């Protein structure tokens, strides 16, 4: 394990994180390809290269735009930092292997979806449409589970989540249903159940903390895709170990 390789994975991760911010912010507004350069959200001034260095620009500018002094959302550097850490951790955990590729693909799906859901309460269809064939091709070459398990995972996810979708009367979005279904396909039935359970636990914990801190009511809608993504990453890194531990209890 080379420390330099880890650092390179981290740095590339933060650069990609910066790109995932742009994708996640602009896709729901359909302006990904219309606007060429990055700009300030408040004054729309185009950003120079010194303002585009991941994490560092935010810290150096103390979270404000150089031009208008408008606040920059801490979500941006946070996404860059988390993407960098995840990329480095994935390399640390799997070195050069098939799992490394799968891990990086998962990060590339999960980070922009997280940004999009937090900023516009949407899981962009374009991202799911882009990544579904990518994951189908990936599993064709290096399957995590037998093919029937992928279909069983996706089918169960779809039926279960559609049921929740109709029973919750809009409490859960259709984007979340499709997002879960894709993970059902990637991980298979057993790990999908773990993913579903974990996402619910994460959502409930953060929901309670948010209600305590902000005093907001039960009705405030929580962006749920970040919890699905976090659960998917937990399952990817630790799923088999958690399931094995659980089975040993009985
Ligand atoms: Zn500005």
CB–CB of 124/116 below 8 Å?
Answer: yes
Distance from residue 73's CA to the centre of ligand 1 (Å): 12
CB–CB of 122/29 below 8 Å?
Answer: no
**240 Cα distance to chain centroid:** 20
CB–CB of 9/91 below 8 Å?
Answer: yes
Give which of 29, 62, 68 is closest to 45, Cα–Cα.
Answer: 68
| Token duo for residue 39 | 């700009």
| Residue 1 scores a pLDDT above 70 | no
Distance CA 240, CA 162 (A): 27
Distance from residue 72's CA to the centre of ligand 1 (Å): 9
pLDDT single digits (tens) 129-171: 999 999 999 988 887 778 899 999 999 999 999 999 999 887 7
Distance from residue 52's CA to the centre of ligand 1 (Å): 13
Q: How far apart are the first and last CA of the chain?
A: 37
| Token duo for residue 250 | 């009985």
To the nearest whole number, what is the mean pLDDT of the chain? 90
Distance from residue 67's CA to the centre of ligand 1 (Å): 5
Location of structure tokens 């606007």: 35
Distance from residue 48's CA to the centre of ligand 1 (Å): 12
For 60-76, what is the mean pLDDT? 90
Looking at residue 32, its pLDDT comes to: 65
Looking at residue 211, its pLDDT comes to: 83
Distance from residue 76's CA to the centre of ligand 1 (Å): 15
- Supply the pTM of this predicted model: 0.91
| Residue 219 scores a pLDDT above 80 | no
């Amino acid at each position: 394990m080379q420390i330099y390789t880890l650092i390179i994975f981290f740095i590339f991760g933060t650069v990609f994180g910066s790109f995932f911010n742009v994708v996640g912010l602009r896709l729901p507004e359909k302006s990904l390809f219309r606007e060429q350069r990055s700009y300030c959200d408040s004054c729309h001034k185009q950003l120079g290269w010194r303002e585009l260095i991941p994490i560092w620009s935010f810290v150096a500018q103390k979270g404000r735009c150089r031009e208008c002094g408008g606040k920059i959302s801490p979500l941006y550097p946070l996404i860059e930092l988390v993407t960098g850490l995840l990329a480095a951790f994935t390399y640390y955990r799997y070195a050069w292997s098939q799992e490394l590729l799968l891990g990086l693909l998962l990060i590339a799906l999960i980070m922009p979806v997280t940004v999009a859901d937090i900023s516009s309460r949407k899981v962009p269809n374009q991202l799911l449409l882009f990544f579904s064939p990518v994951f189908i091709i990936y599993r064709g070459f290096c399957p995590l589970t037998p093919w029937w398990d992928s279909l069983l995972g996706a089918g169960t996810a779809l039926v279960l989540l559609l049921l929740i979708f109709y029973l919750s009367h809009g409490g859960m979005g259709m984007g979340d249903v499709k997002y879960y279904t894709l993970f059902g396909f990637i991980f298979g039935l057993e790990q999908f159940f773990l993913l579903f359970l974990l996402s619910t636990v994460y959502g409930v914990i953060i929901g309670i903390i948010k209600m305590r801190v902000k005093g907001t009511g039960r009705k405030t809608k929580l962006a749920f895709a970040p919890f699905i993504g976090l659960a998917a990453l937990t399952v990817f890194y630790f799923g088999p170990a958690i399931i094995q531990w659980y089975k040993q209890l009985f």
